[in-house]
Chains A and B, each alone.
Chain A
Amino acid sequence: MGEQIQAAALPATRDRESPPIQEIDLSQRPHISEKIIQGFLFACGAFSILTTLGIVYELSKEALLFFTDDRVSLLEFFTGLKWQPQVGEFGILPLLNATLMTTAFAMLIALPLGLGVAIYLSEYASPRMRNTLKPILEVLAGIPTVVYGYFALTFMTPLLRSILGVNMVSIYNTASAGIVMGILILPLVSSMSEDALSAVPRSLREAAYSLGATKLETALRIVLPAAISGIAAAVIISISRAIGETMIVAIAAGAGPNFTFNPFQSAETMTGHIVRISGGDLSYDSIDYNSIFAIGLMLFFMTLTLNIISQRIVRRFREVYE
């Protein structure tokens, strides 16, 4: 009853103090400025698509100019064992081979170490230990790659040379670049893998313990398989990162394409070649200019494919717990 009385009394008091209420149009008013802002924000979002289109368009355009040049044949590009622009030899294999070799070396270092670090941090380390170790590893990830290049040239190469002999290891070599690249990528592997391992619910571990499994058996046979999709994604992302890595190989792997399987010899990678050519005096529409775009296009598709595969793996094989 009381509420009704109040409700009835309300208009009366209002009438006394303020002018009579006007009809309010409650339908939405058109907000022109709101629309403009929304349009601007959409443009910001769409800008990323423009970037991608720009990359694909520019790389393809110049690469097309390269492949339609008389001196270049598509078949030779993919099968030729020599990359010597001066004499019109354009075979990508020496560059690709060096890229794959440095990448393989990097993964050889980063994969076991990164996984070891991830398992240690997520399964063994006490929270305090984890809180001290993780930031240190993150420092590794934050150091600019040119510093790693310096490290490879002034520390790793002399180290390799003093161990294996000066005659065997040349000053510029793919092994030292690859090893240092592995150190660079280690934090990437370890942090992504650790995230995946930590996401495995505790109940799984406890079930394993209750069946009498040791800590190691739990970690390797229960937790690791459960987190395998995340770890696989981390590995693939790392490979893509290693393929695209530039400064370390530009500084330490050597200048000049060289088709060799000897990791202690100098060989130029795809990225290293792009940097060296574009660092010199480059005139537009020359075959050199166009050729680096062809290499860039290949690089772009290699890394893009790996990144898409990694995203697919995460989406498809993710184990969902509760």
Chain B
Amino acid sequence: MNDTRRPAGLAPIEGQYDSGDFEPRLTQRHRQGVVWQALFLASTLIGIVALSALLYNIFNQAFGYVAYKSELNPASLAVNGVPLQQLPKAELVNILQENVSKGLFRRLEDDQPFAQRSRKDVYDLVVQYVVQYKVEEAWTLQESIFARDQVMQYASKNPDAVLRFVSWINPAFITSQQSSNPIEAGVLTAILGSLWTIAITILFAFPVGVGAAIYLEEYALDTPINRIIRVNINNLAGVPSIIYGMLGLAIFVRLLGPLTSGAIFQAGKSATSNGRTILSAGLTLGLLILPVIIINAQEAIKAVPNSLRQASFGLGATKWQTVWHHVLPNALPGILTGTILSVSRAIGETAPLVVVGAATFLNFLPESVFAKFTTLPIQIYQWTSRPQDEFRNLAAAAIIVLLILLLTLNASAVLLRNRLSRRI
């Protein structure tokens, strides 16, 4: 046991070593190996357990019993036996006028004249201001299944509350606009906001990113300035996203405010948005993912075999003709995959957009890039920060929408890559 420097585990030479010298340690070493292997496996499993817990937690919150009351029973609002849901618009406006204060009615009229509002819009207003559903208690899926007695007990104690098992994520949730009432709140505003923002991000970051990658891979000589660009891109990729938010706040919102609020183009609503618009948000996210797009595109361009370029030059093509007709089409699958992956990162970004100045509440859908914005992650953040339980349920439902969106994007990246690479 004393000469530990000896090559371990070597077969003992007759007479020189006592074989008993090795074996006890050998078993110990093997046992040690097994224990550690179990530890390594365990850490992998912990990662998977964490992922499962995360998903379970979200689904647990997205479904369950909810008990709610209404200020006014919807049945009492029926006119001549026609239930509230089927009343024509004129009747709904009447109900609204009768039941809300004059000031509120005038404010609603100011926001958008009732003559111009759709029937559904007016109906939503009636529900929001007259019926006024109020969530009393919400239970998680787990509680709804395993502690059903408590739920029922609560229901019997509060007979005036309506008890219902709801899926917080449902068609109405996806097609409704923002609302301060959890029963009616939806994510349509946030989904559209996300899509608008991402469209700006792609329009800005994709051409610039691919252009930069082409420059660095095809044109740039090894000069100091090009070396600085290369190092700089790597460093930019490591800058925390919130810093980009501050850059966006200082440059796009404040410095270029007249441009990003659309004041230059005389596009309405500029007075209210003061630069905190979809355009600013999209450009900020564009700056954020630019380094990632460049790095991915560089890899893709690097992978194009040099013989293609040589052949093209040999036939007399110019540099740009070679790049445009031969290098880019071959690198495209890689570039697109990289872009989609970075875009899905941008969709999930929250912090920079909070700093740029997402709106807390929007009662209209975005119509142009100069509109005030909110996005899905922002909506999730705002709902999560509310103290009431029912907003946590809404947040969980919004998270599911966001995750499905991301999953679709990533799946399309994989499909796109497979399809394009087969063609070439």
* Interface set of A (CB-CB < 8 Å, partner B): 31, 33-34, 37-38, 40-49, 51-52, 54-55, 58-59, 62, 112-117, 119-121, 123-124, 133, 136-137, 139-140, 142-151, 153-155, 183, 186-187, 190, 211-217, 220, 237, 240-241, 243-247, 250-251, 271, 274-275, 278-279, 282, 284, 292-293, 296, 299-300, 303-304, 307-308, 311
Contacts and interface: CB of A to CB of B under 8 A. Distances in A.
B232 A247 contact: no
Nearest to A242: B240
Contact of A44 (B208, B240, B241): B208
Contact of B249 (A140, A216, A278): A278
16 contacts: A46-B229, A49-B228, A52-B235, A55-B243, A113-B43, A136-B51, A155-B53, A212-B8, A246-B241, A247-B350, A247-B381, A271-B242, A275-B354, A275-B355, A278-B354, A278-B355
Interface stretch (B71-79, B128-136, B157-165, B214-222): B214-222
B250 A51 contact: no
Contacts of B83: none
Given A251-B385, A278-B357, 14 more contacts: A44-B212, A52-B232, A59-B246, A145-B351, A149-B381, A150-B58, A154-B57, A213-B9, A217-B29, A246-B242, A275-B351, A282-B357, A300-B243, A307-B238
Contacts of A151: 53-54, 57-58
Interface in B369-392: 377, 380-381, 384-385, 392
B176 interface: no
A282 B50 CA distance: 37
Contacts of A52: 232, 235-236
Given A52-B232, A144-B348, A275-B351, A47 B290 contact: yes
Interface stretch (B88-96, B104-112, B402-410): B402-410
Contact of A140 (B47, B208, B240, B250): B47
A303 B350 contact: no
Contacts of A211: 7-10
Contact of A274 (B33, B53, B242, B403): B242
Nearest to B231: A311
B interface, size bucket? 35 or more
A180 B387 CA distance: 20
A48 B8 contact: no
A303 B384 contact: no
Interface of B: 7-10, 29-30, 32-33, 36-37, 39-44, 46-48, 50-51, 53-54, 57-58, 61, 207-212, 214-216, 219-220, 225-226, 228-229, 232-236, 238-247, 249-251, 254, 287, 290-291, 294, 318-320, 344-345, 347-351, 354-355, 357, 377, 380-381, 384-385, 392, 395-396, 399, 402-403, 406, 410
Contacts of B54: 143, 147-148, 151, 155, 183
Contact of A34 (B216, B318, B399, B403): B318
Nearest to A237: B238
Give the one of B46, B247, B347 with max A CB within 10 A.
B247
> Binding site of A, secondary structure by majority: helix, strand, loop or mixed?
helix
A48 B243 contact: no
A124 B32 CA distance: 15
A119 to B, nearest CB: 5
B212 A62 contact: no
A311 B406 CA distance: 31
A58 B284 CA distance: 14
Given A45-B215, A58-B250, A150-B380, A120 B319 contact: no
A215 B406 contact: no
Nearest to A136: B48
B395 to A, nearest CB: 6
A45 B246 contact: no
Most buried by B among A34, A45, A136, A139: A45
Nearest to A35: B320
Closest 9 CB pairs of A and B: A244-B240, A212-B9, A144-B348, A116-B43, A44-B211, A120-B40, A246-B351, A41-B215, A216-B33
B46 to A, nearest CB: 6
Contacts of A38: 215, 219, 319-320
Max chain B C-beta neighbours (<10 A), residue from A34, A41, A311: A41
A42 B219 contact: yes
Nearest to A40: B211
A307 B40 contact: no
A52 B232 CA distance: 8
Contacts of A282: 357
A48 B212 contact: yes
Given A41-B215, A147-B399, A48 B377 contact: no
B13 to A, nearest CB: 14
Given A143-B403, A147-B399, A245-B240, A47 B246 contact: no
Contact of A308 (B39, B229, B235, B381): B235
A231 B211 CA distance: 33
Contacts of B406: 142, 144
B208 A116 contact: no
Contact of A216 (B37, B215, B228, B242): B37
B202 to A, nearest CB: 15
Contact of B7 (A55, A187, A212, A300): A212
Contacts of A143: 54, 348, 403
Contacts of B37: 120, 124, 215-216
A296 B246 contact: yes
B212 A139 contact: no
A278 B356 CA distance: 8
A185 to B, nearest CB: 11
A279 B374 CA distance: 12
Contacts of B241: 244, 246
Contacts of B8: 211-213, 217
A275 B384 CA distance: 15
B424 to A, nearest CB: 23
A136 B47 CA distance: 9
A307 B235 contact: yes
